[in-house]
Amino acid sequence: MIELPDLAAGGLTVGTLSALALAGGLLRLRRQQTRQRAEIAALRTQLDGSLRAFTAEVEHLAARRVPAAAQRVAHPHLEVPGPLQPLTAGTPLGIALENVVLALQAEVAAQRTRVDAAAQAGMRGATREIQAALYRLQDALRGLQQRYDDPELTQTLFRLDHENEQSLRRAQVAAVVCGAWVGLAREESHLVDAVTGGQARLAGYQRVKVHNHLEAGTALVSHAVEPVAIIVAELLDNALRHSAPDTDVVVGLEHVHHGVCVTVDDAGLGMTQDERERAQRLVAGDAPILLTDLGDPPRMGLAAIGRLTRQFDLGVDVSSASPYGGVRAVLRVDSHLLTRIDPDRRPPAASAPRTTRTTRKGTPDRPAAPTAHAYGTEVAASDPARHHGPLDADGLPQRRRRGRAAVPAQERAQDRVQDHAEAGTPRPAARRPEEAAAALGALQSGTAAARSGAAEAPAGAADHDTDQTDDEGGAAR
């Protein structure tokens, strides 16, 4: 039988052991809580650091990356900064931020294209109205030229017509840049006439020296005549504007393996490498042309060339330097845009430079001389391309006759009277104003008589009209 002291001692022992076990459990629990608090503190610190890093990345995205990405749409040479923390790249956060940048660029580019398309549409409508008004003014000036005999008034009307033609050319270039058609329907024309037609649209065209090395009769198909004339005019305008006024601009017409090349060399300032690359991108016509890329005010010459090269399958290169120190521009016209015109039945304009290509007999090919008109003046062959000819005492182009039936009424091509059929014939002495007025009156009376006679002739007979050459025009580089 267990005694009471032994029972008490056993209970005390059990209680002591239980207390010790409970104390150990409490100690372990406290240590675990301490570790958990430390881990929570560490996680909180880490979370705060991540939150600060994420906030910094978002601020960097808004302040630096987004503006740079928007600017890069218009200026591809700009660099878009990367993430603020390089370790972010490739992580889900970095990928998400990069997607934000790409989506922004795509939307900015789309909106920019829409806005530019709307601006081009508005400009096309404006230039159409301007061209129509200028054509009406040109008809009115031509009527005044035929109506009045006073030499001084005639010279004034010529100058006004030149200014009007310059405005017409600028409106045409602006319309082409905005996606409009070239606006003139032409028939097949000698290539040399298209080149001299582009030359005749410029101020300072006397500085242009054309060397024709083409085979006689080399011509353009109808839909390529006006584009070639516009491109040549723009290339020559750049050459004339960016070279000294006492230097020449040399133009060469050469046959190549795949067609014909028109080479324009100037002795101007030339271009830097960046300018040359930008100009080549514009004239190549590979990328869409936006008005906002052309500066303020817009410089549309090269942009118009780019539009035409893409539309009519022409090639233009401005990446080479000229041997004269300036820029060399080369227009390539492939064989499918070329045709042949019999130079005996339909010779080039009398003012066009004669070809230097020799025939089998070793003599230069020479187109037939212009035929003599009934009133004693010589008439160059009817040709849709504009070109320049002899000048009067004030340095302005003279008028010539052309067949109205051969050239559409919409075309504003204007030709010149040739004083003599053969080159080298001495020019007659200048007449007094009274004599000039009398001669001009007789010429206009004869023209009126010829028109009335032509009205009674069978259908298809070509009557002749007087016209004036357009020589001035300009487009900034």
Q: Whole-angstrom Cα distance, residue 8 to residue 6? A: 5
Average pLDDT score over the chain: 75
What is the percentage of the chain residues whose pLDDT exceeds 90? 22
pTM of the model: 0.63
Mean pLDDT of 350-355: 85
DSSP state of 351: T
On whether the CB atoms of residues 263 and 323 are closer than 8 A, the answer is no
Which numeric CATH code is attached to 188-421? 3.30.565.10
Domain coordinates in residue numbering, the chain: 10-89, 188-421
Q: Which residue has the higher pLDDT, 168 or 386?
A: 168
Mean pLDDT of 141-159: 88
Q: Which residues lie across from 249 on neighbouring strands?
A: 208
On whether the CB atoms of residues 471 and 202 are closer than 8 A, the answer is yes
Which tens digits make up the pLDDT trace of 296-308? Answer: 788 888 999 999 9
Q: Which residues lie across from 219 on neighbouring strands?
A: 190, 339
**pLDDT value of residue 441:** 53
On whether the CB atoms of residues 177 and 300 are closer than 8 A, the answer is yes
Which tens digits make up the pLDDT trace of 16-49? Answer: 877 777 888 888 888 888 888 888 888 888 777 7
Q: Which residues lie across from 253 on neighbouring strands?
A: 212, 262
Which tens digits make up the pLDDT trace of 216-236? Answer: 999 999 999 999 999 999 999
**pLDDT value of residue 286:** 80
Is pLDDT at 132 greater than 80 in this prediction?
A: yes
Is pLDDT at 98 greater than 60 in this prediction?
A: yes
Q: Nearest Cα to 400, choosing from 392, 389, 409, 411?
A: 389
**pLDDT value of residue 409:** 32
What is the percentage of the chain residues whose pLDDT exceeds 70? 73
Predicted confidence band at 71 (pLDDT cuts at 50, 70, 90)? Answer: confident
